[in-house]
Amino acid sequence: MSYRNLMRAAAALTVVLVLTAAAAQPVLAQSSRAGSAFANDDDAFLALREAVRRDDATTTAALADRLPNYTIGSYIDYYRLKVRLRDASPNDVRAFLTRHDRSAIGDRMRNDWLLELGRTRNWALFDEQYPQFVLNDDHQLKCYALLSATLKGQRVADDARTLLTSTVSYGDACSTLVVTLLQSGQFSVSDVWAQVRLAAEAGNTVVVRRLVLLAEAPETLVMRALDKPADVLSRGVGSGRTAHEAFIIALGRSARNNPADAANALLLAGEQLTPDERALGWAQIALQAAIKLAPDAMVYWRRAQGASLSQEGYQWQVRSALRAGDWKFVRSAIEAMPVALRGDTTWVYWYARALRIEGRTQDAQLHFQSISAIPGFYGQLALEELGQKIVLPPRAAPVTPEELAPMAQNPGFKRAIKFFEMNLRFEGYREWNWELRRMNERQHLAAAEYARQVNLLDRMVNTSDRTQVAVDFSQRFPSPYADIMRANAAPLGLDVAWVYGLIRQESRFIMNARSNVGASGLMQIMPATASFVARKIGMDSFTPSQVNDIPVNIRLGANYLRMVLADLDGSQALATAAYNAGPGRPRAWRATLPRSVEGAIFAESIPFAETRGYVKNVLSNATYYAALFDNQPQSLKSRLGWVAPKGFVASELP
């Protein structure tokens, strides 16, 4: 690539996309007028937070002046600086970091400042501050750190390839990193095309547009492959690298609608591609066929052997093989995964299963043992493969008053509780979790017990979940409102452990929980579902405002759960999926099965990532709850059962 074209591409990559903000109500700018606009300081604080979100410096200053003695003064300090961070001097920021050293809000400010330092290419300050960023959870900053190292002549290509496995958080930092790696000779054009394919697979057209310039490719051809793949496929492969890459991208996009049509296009034009390009084409088709649970997915995966896959590709290759019962392919596909992915408990478990089926019993046992002590779905299944059932570990010694007292005085916890009272859960979680970083296991148990006392059951669960040696499952798996639960579940014949397992996953016992799609309450019931169930069970006086009332929420949720269970032949695996994704989808998913499969295979091959995790977590939870309630060994495998193929039948359930 010529230097001129490279610079032109780099300039294009750093263009900031400006999103048009929605029209907002005018906020009073003068301090005296702002003071009369709010009933209390909390309302003014919420308005201040919103002004910062809108980057409104004038209103921010006025509202901050109104709150000189606010309960959470560090956040007033933070908002004052954040809104003018681009113009602030390093001394201003350093002074803030000194005042709020070792605090959650101090680390948040360092995160913000590092992003600004990366944007302005102030590498001296960036390199000084980046090692002090405690959480180190910002993808953009990781790209900026590699960019800084590249500019100093360090070899970071392998680290960059490991980092750039998703284009979701790509942004300016990662785009510029790719530019610089290409310019320095650490990345080849093939690396750039690999990133383009990854972005196309994710449907990230913004990143595709940014990157095609680096490959000196006509943007119109590649974008046509994304937007009108049938047109590109109908014209054939064409000549040159860009045409071939566009054809491969079009295969993947076309397969989203019809994998068979994409496969036919590749068969017709395949001889014009190199063997490596054909494998990439089949991989594009195979992934979409696998996600659609198409019966030919395994045919396409076999043709794709040797292709470089995305993280999703590696995993769906195994899921397809599990559904097909091809254990040899399961083993080889897991062995082909990147090391970090292969070490996930999911794939350790299935790899061990494949080894055992091949007769490598001792190797399989070692793999099962390596994850059997890890709480959760695959740890429980591994334990059963070792011939054991799920029992609760011995309960840690109760928290003493002396251990509990410091938790009530913890400033971070006090800030968290204040945020929870204002329903600012993001800020509350940040403050609470920051304090946990500095605690040992006994202190985690004490913090969890304190959360129980102040009725923050979700914090109790999440905090107690962190311990590995000293454990208390009464904290991890609470069962509040037991009388209401029994009164509603018992007449319906529902497994109470299963209902609690679902609530733990749905809302973590946050009474006023509300999802981003409008589901409400402990059992996260959608408004339409609530009205439907209320009519079915004769709650003539039901109004939508009642959905967060605990007895009403549990009654509606339990009845709906009983409906979907009956609708899906009594399978908890199918009914749990239905509760999350609607009853029509699990019916459609089971209809694609080539034969009866274990419930664990059905759960692992659910196409929706959210529902896949949901089913595994709910049934794992339910197994622990059953052990807690019955004080008897339990079997997750029995709870999962088997899922048999059955014709799709429409359901009246929403």
Rg (CA), the chain: 27
Sequence-distant (6+) residues with CB within 8 A of 18 are none
For the segment 339-357, the average pLDDT, to the nearest whole number, is 98
- Alpha-helix runs per DSSP H in 393-481: 401-409, 411-421, 425-436, 441-453, 457-464, 473-476
| pTM listed for this prediction | 0.91
d(CA 187, CA 156): 10
Whole-number Cα distances in Å, 415 to 111, 420, 431, 456, 466: 20, 9, 7, 14, 21
For the segment 117-123, the average pLDDT, to the nearest whole number, is 98
Q: How many CB atoms lie within 10 A of CB 600?
A: 25
- Asked if pLDDT for residue 15 goes beyond 60, the answer is no
Q: Which of 248, 253, 254, 313 is nearest to 286 (CA)?
A: 313
376 or 511, greater pLDDT: 376
Cβ-based burial of 469 (10 A; exposed 0-12, middle 13-18, buried ≥19): exposed
What single-letter amino acid sits at 358? E
- What's the pLDDT at 651? 63
Residues in the chain: 654
- What's the pLDDT at 171? 86
Helix (H) or strand (E) holding 303: helix 297-303
Residue 284 corresponds to which tokens in the numbers above? 């594009």
Q: Which of 553, 565, 478, 563 is nearest to 519 (CA)?
A: 553
Confidence band of 646 (pLDDT split at 50, 70, 90)? confident
How high does pLDDT run on average in the chain? Answer: 92
- What's the pLDDT at 520? 84
Whether the CB-CB separation of 587 and 568 falls below 8 Å is answered with: yes
- What's the pLDDT at 18? 29
d(CA 442, CA 249): 53
Confidence band of 538 (pLDDT split at 50, 70, 90)? very high
For the segment 300-321, the average pLDDT, to the nearest whole number, is 97
Q: Which of 581, 591, 654, 593 is nearest to 618 (CA)?
A: 581
Q: How many CB atoms lie within 10 A of CB 99?
A: 12
Q: What is the CATH number of domain 401-471?
A: 1.10.1240
Q: Which of 201, 143, 193 is nearest to 14 (CA)?
A: 143
Per mean pLDDT, which of 163-177, 206-220, 414-428 is the most reliable?
414-428
- What's the pLDDT at 648? 58
Q: What is the CATH number of domain 482-643?
A: 1.10.530.10
- What's the pLDDT at 7? 40
Catalytic residues: 506
pLDDT tens, position by position, 452-501: 999 999 999 999 999 999 999 999 999 999 999 999 999 999 999 999 99
Confidence band of 25 (pLDDT split at 50, 70, 90)? very low
Confidence band of 579 (pLDDT split at 50, 70, 90)? very high
- What's the pLDDT at 649? 59
Sign of the alpha-carbon dihedral angle for 336, 337, 340, 342 = negative
Whole-number Cα distances in Å, 327 to 292, 301, 545: 21, 14, 51
- What's the pLDDT at 17? 31
- What's the pLDDT at 545? 87
- Residue-range domain boundaries for the chain: 23-139, 401-471, 482-643
Query: What is the share, in percent, of the chain residues with pLDDT greater than 70?
Result: 93
pLDDT tens, position by position, 250-295: 999 999 999 999 999 999 998 999 999 999 999 999 999 999 999 9
